[in-house]
Amino acid sequence: MHIDELDLQGKVALVRVDFNVPLKDGVVGDRNRIIAAVPTIEKLLDSGAKVVLMSHLGRPKGEVKAEFSLSQIVSAVSEELGREVAFVDQCVGQEVKEAIANLKENGVLLLENLRFHAEEEKGDRAFASQLAELGDVYVNDAFGTAHRAHASTAIIADFFKADERAFGYLIQNELEAVARLLQEPQRPFTAIMGGAKISDKILLIENILDKVDRLIIGGGMSYTFFKAKGGDVGNSLVEEDKLQLALDLLNKAEEKGVELHLPQDSIIADNFSNDANTSEADNMQIKSGWMGLDIGSKASREFAEVVESSKTILWNGPMGVFEMSKFAEGTKAMATAIANATENGAFSLIGGGDSAAAIRTFNFDDKVSYISTGGGALLEYLEGKELPGIKAIQS
């Protein structure tokens, strides 16, 4: 069911959002997840519904902990919606039902952290049923948790008829972006994989090899490939038990006719610190006691050329430790190249997590086609896995 087709007038819309936002001293550090939910909430309100929002925050592991209370984000949600948002310090039970009954027409109520109940992460049916009692229709707009079979993301849908449940705009946008990427991509299609470990990305790399024309590998994971090829990588991060896997991936790429680009060089450091001494080195010849923490200037130029000549781009994972200014240039070069390609008509999808953080750090968030809100969920979806939160609405 499409959200635009739901009968909403006079109804209570129970909405699973992803307001798992960073907090420091009770202040929201990054509001992007809240902002992303606004179009869905406004649609429900404009259609005559009362809106009840439910989310998790952090990992309280079934215990009530003040530092994980969603009461801390009420003012931020109110500001982004431009209206007062009510709050109740429970998420099920009579007190919540009374708060909903007292909600004004077109009112918005935020419930307390779902994960204060251990039953949420266990996917408990009785808890899901208690949540379902709170609304007439159910809308899932939390893509970031769609890969979890939790009570509020998957099990709850069983308690609503097919015409009483729908995805919100955020999830619809995520699914459409991935479909555009995987189903009929304009070519050449380039995937950029970064991050620390091959083991984190192996399924994604294997699945994407059947779809892309080019694969760029950077970040910490690249040193496992160079070590597998017989290179000296110094103290760089290496997964010793994945050396054969790295060689197998190189062979698979060749068999499938995929151009695989590894970084020729690195910015190396004698310590994992922004104050470290740095130098530049060929990735087959990094001296002992030094580690690669960013791609080098040759790799940056080569990768940029590949990206800027692409028509479809997927980026998942930074090229280095971009949180440290000394090792941010490679990731910034990648972001710049993606922005340039997008300006020239390419479709670019930025996988959530560190890639999204990097794009925003370098102020390119309005220069790419789509930034996913779901790190783990997007990875699993791109790996070809079925996401419980998606299946629950579609079935």
DSSP string covering 117-173, please? SHHHHHT-HHHHHHHHTT-SEEEE--GGGTTS--TTTTGGGGGS-GGGEEE-HHHHH
**Dihedral angle over CA of 73, 79, 84, 90, nearest 10:** -10
pLDDT given at position 30: 87
293 Cβ contact list (under 8 Å, min separation 6): 266, 267, 268, 269, 272, 320, 321, 324, 326, 327
Would you state the pLDDT for residue 25? 87
Residue 178 lies in a domain: no
Beta carbons of 193 and 217 less than 8 angstroms apart? yes
- What distance in Å separates the CA atoms of residue 189 and residue 315, rounded to the nearest whole number? 11
> Does 280 reside within a domain?
yes
**What is the average per-residue pLDDT within 18-40?**
92
Which residue, of 117, 136, 170, is where some domain finishes?
170
176 inside domain: no
Exposed (0-12), middle (13-18) or buried (19+): which is 282, by Cβ within 10 Å? middle
Statement to judge: residues 147 and 33 lie in one domain: yes
Residues 192, 158 share a domain: no
- β pairing state of 214-217 and 259-261: parallel
3-state secondary structure of 379: helix
Q: For residue 70, which of 150, 78, 139, 138 has the smallest C-alpha distance?
A: 78
Are 156 and 215 in a shared domain? no
pLDDT at 345: 97
197: left (phi over 0), alpha (psi -120 to 50) or beta: beta
**Per-residue confidence at 201, pLDDT binned at 50, 70, 90?**
confident
Higher-confidence residue of 2 and 87: namely 87
Residue numbers of the domain that contains 357: 185-382
In sequence order, what are the residues at sequence separation of 6 or more whose Cβ sits closer than 8 angstroms to the Cβ of residue 113?
55, 56, 57, 58, 60, 68, 69, 70, 91
Over the stretch 146-160, which tens digit does the pLDDT of each residue have? 999 999 999 999 999
246 in a structural domain? yes
**pTM of model > 0.95:** no
Tell me if 24 is assigned to some domain: yes
**CA-based radius of gyration for the chain:** 23
Q: Domain count for the chain, please give it.
A: 2
CA-closest candidate to residue 97, choices 130, 55, 140: 130
Q: Residue 310's pLDDT is what?
A: 98
Average pLDDT of the segment spanning 350-369: 89
What is the average per-residue pLDDT within 26-39? 92
pLDDT level of residue 11 (50, 70, 90 thresholds): very high
Instruction: Between 330 and 1, name the one with better pLDDT.
Output: 330
The pLDDT value recorded for residue 384 is: 83
Q: Measured between alpha carbons, how far is 269 from 278 in angstroms, rounded to an integer?
A: 4
Higher-confidence position of 121 and 26: 121
CB distance 47 to 173 below 8 Å: no
Residues annotated catalytic, as ranges: 33, 197, 353, 376
Same domain membership, residue 250 and residue 206: yes
Which pLDDT does position 122 carry in this prediction?
97
164/227 same-domain check: no
State residue 69's pLDDT score.
97
Tens-place pLDDT, residues 219-262: 999 999 999 999 999 999 999 999 999 999 999 999 999 999 99
Is 177 inside any structural domain? no
CA distance 53 to 96: 12
Is residue 328 located within the same domain as residue 372? yes
Note whether 163 and 277 are same-domain residues. no
For residue 377, pLDDT over 90 is answered with no
Q: Is 340 found in the same domain as 211?
A: yes
Domain boundary among 170, 198, 231: 170
Helix, strand, coil % over all residues of the chain, rounded to 5: 45, 20, 40
Q: State whether 193 and 164 are in the same domain.
A: no
Shared domain check, 218 and 145: no
Task: Identify the CATH number of the domain in which residue 58 sits.
Answer: 3.40.50.1260
Does 69 map to a domain? Answer: yes
